[in-house]
A and B are shown apart, each in its own frame.
Chain A
């Protein structure tokens, strides 16, 4: 059974640029959620995808967008990067029937300069 993987592991961008982060869900999981985790804080929910449709969104502006593909892999896109976007970005996959048990990837650490 393959776990959740994310790429890249680290990324440095400058303010105003755009970034795409990728996630490959655990085999058989049809739901993927993206979280932003600032240093010393808990993960903050960005949005969730279920069967390629957005299924809920947290308090993040529209410049945060996502996609889920038929093979359940996923992307997080952030446009017009701001300094405060510097954080660890986590994706988590789960089964629709077991939403409380989410399997997290190792995350992508984004630094915006």
Chain B
């Protein structure tokens, strides 16, 4: 089977940097994805890491270590609009994604 672990809640101050960790157990690993979901909204794709290392997209970066079965999402220059839930996900059977339970990020003034 597959399992993903991530913290349930994180709080950070506007302008700061926050890191959301994800550890996973899976057979047949393809890569680690990250999605953002605002309250009442749809999940939206943020990033995908297939290989070890850091991928940067604007204020967001994502890191993967395949040997450690570990990845993280790094959010810099936090803004109030970044308050949302963040999910890591790995590919399962076929092309489906298996999601973690999500990390609720609260950005405070």
Give the complex CA separation of A44 and B99 in angstroms.
7
Which of A92, A99, A101, A107 has most chain B Cβ within 10 Å?
A99
Q: Mark A66-90, 1 if CB is under 8 A from B, else 0.
A: 0000000000000000000000001
Q: Mark B66-98, 1 if CB is under 8 A from A, else 0.
A: 000000000000000000000101011111111
- With A42-B87, A100-B33 already in contact, the answer to whether A55 and B48 are too (CB < 8 A) is no
Taking a contact as CB atoms closer than 8 A, the residue among A4, A42, A55 that contacts B100 in the complex is A42
Q: What range describes how many residues of B lie at the interface?
A: 20 to 34
Contact A45 B95 (CB under 8 A): no
Residues of A at the B interface (CB closer than 8 Å) are: 4, 31, 33, 35, 40-45, 47-48, 50, 55-58, 90, 92, 94, 96, 99-107
Contact A33 B98 (CB under 8 A): no
The 3 closest A-B pairs by CB, nearest first: A56-B94, A42-B99, A99-B95
B41 at the interface (CB under 8 A from A): yes
Contact B97 A100 (CB under 8 A): yes
Contact A56 B43 (CB under 8 A): no
Contact A99 B44 (CB under 8 A): no
Q: Would you list 10 pairs from A and B whose C-beta atoms are within 8 A, ordered by A residue? A: A33-B96, A44-B99, A47-B96, A56-B92, A57-B93, A58-B93, A58-B96, A99-B30, A100-B30, A104-B44
Taking a contact as CB atoms closer than 8 A, the residue among A31, A42, A99 that contacts B101 in the complex is A42
Give the complex CA separation of A13 and B45 in angstroms.
31
- With A100-B33, A100-B48, A106-B41 already in contact, the answer to whether A43 and B91 are too (CB < 8 A) is no
B92 CB to closest chain A CB (Å) equals 6
Contact A41 B91 (CB under 8 A): no
Contact B96 A100 (CB under 8 A): no
Q: Which residues of A contact B91 (CB under 8 A)?
A: 99-100
Give the complex CA separation of A107 and B50 in angstroms.
28
